[in-house]
Amino acid sequence: MKKILLAFLVILSVVLSACEETGSVDSDNGTSTIEKIKKSKKIVIGTAPGYAPFEMTDLKGKYVGYDIDTAKAIGKALDAKVEFKEYSFDGLIAALQVGEIDMIISGMTITGPRALSVSFANPYFKTKQVALVPNTDTTTKVWTDLDKKGKKIATVVGTTGQLITKNTFKNAEIKDYKEMAAAALAMISGQIDGVIYDESSVRIWNKQNGKSRVIDNQISAENLGIAVKHDDLKTIQWLNSFLYSYIDGPEELKSRNYWFENDEWYDNINNKVEAE
């Protein structure tokens, strides 16, 4: 019996050792995204323009914004050419999973459900969800005032604002739009009563278009993160090291100040969207 037990333990040890070696090979054989980028000298970034001031297109069709600057800084650090591929926001994770893109840098909030499908680097920007209402609305003081029967609230498809609104608003009717600008235009035209979206974009839209006001109390606080394929630890480690030196450094501060502290760029942005 002791010999049988000993033989079983030896076999089990060999099997476990083989599994460990296989796992080690899978993670260290150069198949990580960061190794692929270093070899090909090219990085493909998934983006969803329309999220000011993070990712937009200018009047010449060029991608611009804070996230675009961040992607270019990553490319520069890796000595790699940066290529952008455009998707609807709710199509970005699928594109990453099938290998059409190497990373998502598109104002994506880090959430538990998303982390089951992709892996996130450390947060690179903090934001919050707020409400935008028309100037003609003089009664809404806090966002909960919008959660009433007969009210119509707009969200943007695939965003955490959409998820939070549908989980939080129990009485108002919720309508989904593809872009924040379309939702805001629908609000101004009287089709809906308010928009729930990211504070930065809401404030920029409000400043440039008027006819609306921001409800300051936040609905939720969020961290934005760069997404890569699930469990790609090598790439996550590299990104975390990059972000540690990039955030609050001269290059990042220049980008942040340009996109968030002034609006001289606004007239050069393609922001003409029809209300849906």
Q: Assign domain 128-222 one CATH number from 3.40.640.10, 3.40.190.10, 3.40.50.970, 1.10.10.10.
A: 3.40.190.10
Q: What is the mean pLDDT of the chain?
A: 86
Domain ranges (residues) in the chain: 34-124+225-268, 128-222
Q: What are phi and psi of 57, to 5 degrees?
A: -120, 145
Strands 42-47 and 103-104: parallel
d(CA 186, CA 167): 22
What lies within 8 Å, CB to CB, of 81 at 6+ separation is 41, 42, 43, 75
- pLDDT score for 225: 97
Q: Which CATH architecture has domain 34-124+225-268?
A: 3-Layer(aba) Sandwich (3.40)
- pLDDT score for 261: 87
Determine the average pLDDT of the residues in 70-94.
96
Min mean pLDDT across 183-187, 225-229, 270-274 is at 270-274
Per-residue pLDDT band for 271 (boundaries 50, 70, 90) equals low
Same fold, 34-124+225-268 and 128-222: yes
User: And the tokens for 275?
Assistant: 């209300």
d(CA 262, CA 88): 27
Taking the CB of residue 164, how many other CB atoms lie within 10 A of it?
Answer: 17
Question: Is residue 187 within 8 Å of 195, Cβ to Cβ?
Answer: yes
Per-residue pLDDT band for 28 (boundaries 50, 70, 90) equals very low
Taking the CB of residue 265, how many other CB atoms lie within 10 A of it?
Answer: 15
Q: Tokens 């942040």 correspond to what residue?
A: 256
Determine the average pLDDT of the residues in 229-249.
97
Range of 13-22, 55-64, 202-211 with top mean pLDDT: 55-64
In this model, does residue 20 exceed pLDDT 70?
Answer: no
Per-residue pLDDT band for 50 (boundaries 50, 70, 90) equals confident
- pLDDT score for 145: 94
- pLDDT score for 205: 84
d(CA 65, CA 7): 63
CA 180 from chain centre, in angstroms, equals 14
Determine the average pLDDT of the residues in 23-44.
75
- pLDDT score for 12: 42
In this model, does residue 48 exceed pLDDT 60?
Answer: yes
In this model, does residue 21 exceed pLDDT 70?
Answer: no
In this model, does residue 74 exceed pLDDT 90?
Answer: yes
Strands 81-86 and 42-47: parallel
User: And the tokens for 222?
Assistant: 């969020």
Question: Is residue 123 within 8 Å of 225, Cβ to Cβ?
Answer: yes
Q: Which of 236, 201, 230 has its CA nearest to residue 123?
A: 236
